[in-house]
Amino acid sequence: MAGDFSVTFWGVRGSIACPGPDFQRYGGNTSCLELRCDGQLLIFDAGTGLRPLGEQLKDQGPLETDLFLTHSHLDHIIGIPFFKPLFDAASKVTFWAGHLLPEHHLREVICTLMVPPLFPVPIDIFAAKTLYNDFAVGETLTPRPGIALRTARLNHPNGATGYRVDYAGKSICYVTDTEHVAGTIDANIVALAKGADILIYDSTYTDAEYPRYKGWGHSTWSEGLRIAETAGVGTFVAFHHDPSHKDGALDRIAEDLAAARPGSLVAREGMTLRA
């Protein structure tokens, strides 16, 4: 069907994966999204959620995908060595990052992750054709015909990139990890999210928790709602849940969110939304 544009959540946590009985309903894997633009696949972030996504993809034949990183903190890249399509010689994976230049390059950063004694094998083990693209945050990317990707700088230690994907007249905006400045609204993010159908936003903390973690680089769902309102966003999705937020805590956030702005959602593993 032409114009089918969706996002599926494979990892919704921030900081570190948190398996166990208290995390079954929302999931414990760290950041990973699957975007489908009809037959084309884009992946955002490579947290532990990338591993189960790869398990599903490996049975679907050779893969061609672009994988966009918000940044290279461990919770967003640790899934890379465990992504099955990277071990398939018929597949092609293009990695992208916008926060590293000019001091670093993406290939070098992934090499640093996969180096003994931290990891037994280097990136040369990948059989797939791999490309590592660094861009300057703020650039607009066109990885595939018909898909436009805008990028914006986020407020996060070591930098991070927010993305907006426009396809078939619809848009999905992915904004994690970022910290707001109390009393102001982030004009960069508002501009990026203007009129988006879906905004996925760093909602690591509640308003009550945030003061203890000021400066850690994360935000709150209530700040996300302010941005959603200002930018005229369709559906707001709270994302990058703190590992201390068990299912019950996320249920309460879901209730508060829905009361504050009906239709808003708390991201959970396995959830698919159509733009």
The residue ranges that bind Zn ion (CB under 5 A) are 14, 73, 75, 177
Minimal distance, residue 177 CB to Zn ion, in Å: 4
Minimal distance, residue 92 CB to Zn ion, in Å: 27
Q: Which residues pair with 43 in a beta bridge?
A: 34, 67
Q: Which is nearer to Zn ion, 74 or 181 (CB)?
A: 74
Nearest residue to Zn ion, scored by beta-carbon proximity: 73
Minimal distance, residue 31 CB to Zn ion, in Å: 6
Minimal distance, residue 250 CB to Zn ion, in Å: 17
CA within 13 Å, CB half, 247: 11
Q: Which is nearer to Zn ion, 14 or 52 (CB)?
A: 14
Minimal distance, residue 49 CB to Zn ion, in Å: 12
Minimal distance, residue 53 CB to Zn ion, in Å: 17
Q: Which is nearer to Zn ion, 73 or 84 (CB)?
A: 73
Q: Which is nearer to Zn ion, 73 or 170 (CB)?
A: 73
DSSP the chain: -TT-EEEEEEE-B-SS---SGGGTTT---BSEEEEEETTEEEEE--STTHHHHHHHHGGG-S-EEEEEES--SGGGTTTGGG-GGGG-TT-EEEEEESS-TTT--HHHHHHHHS-TTTSSS-GGG--SEEEEEE--TT-EEEEETTEEEEEEE---TT--EEEEEEETTEEEEEE-S----TTS--HHHHHHHTT-SEEEEE--B-TTTGGGGTTSS--BHHHHHHHHHHHT-SEEEEESB-TT--HHHHHHHHHHHHHHSTT-EE--TT-EEE-
Minimal distance, residue 223 CB to Zn ion, in Å: 16
Q: Which is nearer to Zn ion, 51 or 73 (CB)?
A: 73
Q: Which is nearer to Zn ion, 204 or 222 (CB)?
A: 204
Q: Among candidates 195, 197, 199, 198, which has minimal Cα distance to 178? A: 199
Q: Which is nearer to Zn ion, 34 or 177 (CB)?
A: 177
Q: Which is nearer to Zn ion, 99 or 164 (CB)?
A: 99
Helices 247-260 and 221-231: angle between axes, nearest 10 degrees: 30
